[in-house]
Structure formats: structure tokens, C-alpha cells
Amino acid sequence: MKDTAMIIPTYDDMLAAHARIRPHIRQTPVRTSDHLNELTGAELFFKCENFQEPGAFKVRGAANAVFGLDDAQARLGVATHSSGNHASCLSYAAMRRGIPCNVVMPRTAPQAKKDTVRRYGGRITECDPSTSSREETFARVQAETGGDFVHPYNDPRVIAGQGTCAKEFIEQTDGLEIVLAPIGGGGMISGTCLTLSTLAPEVQIIAAEPEQADDAYRSFHAGRIIADDAPKTIADGLLVPLKELTWHFVSNHVSDILTASDPEIVAAMKLIWKHLRVVMEPSSAVPLATILKNKERFAGKRVGVILTGGNVDLDRLPWMAG
């Protein structure tokens, strides 16, 4: 949907999204841990988006795009390129509406991710692991199918959908002072900005980013989008750069961007598994990692953390040897 690319979604779009997607998503629970509170000195509230049926918050934006299509477009389905949670969440949403979903994925993507997309009825077209191959392949697939392009984050429908998470979070908790979410392309952070800037403008929004993929941090401080070529971090959901639409929200509403190293991210992930007893992926541990290394900033505060996703290869956990 090229024509919507720089339409800035509004608070009303987010409200409409919530009404539209409610039958298709979970209102995920908020969990707490006395022990993590003691460790950090803050009062932490974890919004468990890893408990969405397909395992990530991205089902919100995907469902908003899929269920917002008119019948004519819906018959042609949707299409995207992604090797991560967006692909499986879009397939899941399309399956619920009973429409086609075409996904272009690098042939090198993990088998488990391909299996999940197929389990939800997504049709995968493989490309080489390069930007040019991906773009060529995607153009061909889209031309052949007529599927509506749903970008993983640079799409107003997607951002309005992701914003529904912050709405629930505010409704489920009292007096949050800060909300943290990981930042990759910026879809969840943008949705959070969209919602909180109207619903709870007193709440600070802090984005958390891996040191080894800190393009949003550098963009934030440079005042313009900086994109890295091929960042490498254990937080593999956060490799992609900001785009115009997410930059709009980040540059206007985010209070700060904090970073953490890969070892700090893995340590935080293990703490969450051990004390919150939820299965989440490395990307979702970045906020706690940044809280632990900036304790004075969060001490005594009521802090919301969005656990963005829970799709992780149980046979290759980051603390497993080789």
C-alpha cells in the first residue's frame, strides 16, 4: 500500500484497530516478580506479548492490516518479506481471515521459522540472503499474486495495531511512570508513542537497543535516520533500521534510547526465564538489561516493560554451549 506509506496513524486509528483485532488477539497478562523488583530497585510490570498465540506483539499490527482490507483486496491476500515474527504473525492473521499470505524469506532462514509460517498456511518463496534478491523476488511475488504489501513496521496500519498493546498496558496497571520496549525497526515503540502521547502523556517512553545494533541510538542523537549495513547481535529481532514513519514517532516522542551489550542481554533473559518463568526471546530482554545497568534512573519508579516475543529455538539457547 504505497499510498499510505507516509500517512501518520492517529489515536483514533489505534482505537479502531483495537476494536477490529480484539477477537483475533489475546489481551496478554501483566506479570511481576518480587525478586526482579529487589534486584533493580524499581517496581517492574511485564506485559507478556510473548503469550500471543503466534508468540509476538506483531500479531496486533498484522491483524489490523488483514482485517482492515476490503473484500476485493482480501481475495488477493497479503504479502511481505520477513524472516521473523512478522511473517508468522501475518500468516496467522491471514489464516484467521481465510485469505492468502505470501512471504519472501531468505533460503538461509531457520527451518523452525519456515515451519511456523507454513503451519499458519503462509506460502513461502525463497530468495538469496541479499537485499537485491529479496527486493526482486518480492516484486515478482507481488506482481503475480496482487497481495497487499504489509511492511513489518513502516505501515500506519501496523503501527496503529501495535499501539493497542500500550492501551491495554495502561488499563491493566496503575500509575506507570516509564514504559520500555525494545527497538529494531521501531514498530512497537512507534505504536507505544502513538497511544501514550494521547492517553498518558506523562509516561516517559524509553527504547532499549542492543549495543551491537545501535542504529536507532545513533539516529536519535544525530537527528536523522542512520542505517547499518549488517549488524550482528543475539537480539535477532532488532536488526532492521528505522524508516520514515517510525522515525517520526521516535524523534517526536521517545525520551531516551538506552543500550546493552549482548552478554548483558543474555544475562537479563536468563533472569526473566528464572524468576518470571516465561519463555521469551533475546530481543525482549534488552529493556531489563538496560534497567539493570542504569538502576539509579529507575529506582523507586513504576516501570512497564513490554516482553515483545517468545519465539526462540529451545535447542539453541544463548547460554547453551556451542
Q: Can you give the binding site for its own copies, defined by CB under 8 A?
A: 29, 31, 33-35, 50-51, 53, 55, 119, 270, 273-274, 277-280, 310, 314-315, 317, 319-320
Nearer to its own copies, 115 or 135 (CB): 115
C-alpha cell read off for 313:
529455538
CB of 276 to its own copies, least distance (A): 8
> 12 or 38: whose CB is closer to its own copies?
38
CB of 303 to its own copies, least distance (A): 19
- Judged by beta carbon, residue 93 or residue 159, the one nearer its own copies is 93
Sign, CA torsion 190/193/198/199 = positive
Nearer to its own copies, 51 or 138 (CB): 51
C-alpha span between 278 and 132 (Å, rounded): 38
Q: Least Å distance between CB 225 and its own copies? A: 33
Buried b or exposed e, range 209-219, using 16+ CB within 10 angstroms = bbbbbbbbbbb
Of 83, 98, 92, the C-alpha closest to 137 is: 83
Smallest separation (angstroms) from its own copies to the CB of 31? 7
Residue among 51 and 298 whose Cβ is closer to its own copies: 51
Q: Between vectors from CA 63 to CA 5 and to CA 288, what angle results, nearest 5°?
A: 85
CB of 51 to its own copies, least distance (A): 6
> C-alpha angle 270/52/33, rounded to 5°?
40
Amino acid at 187: G
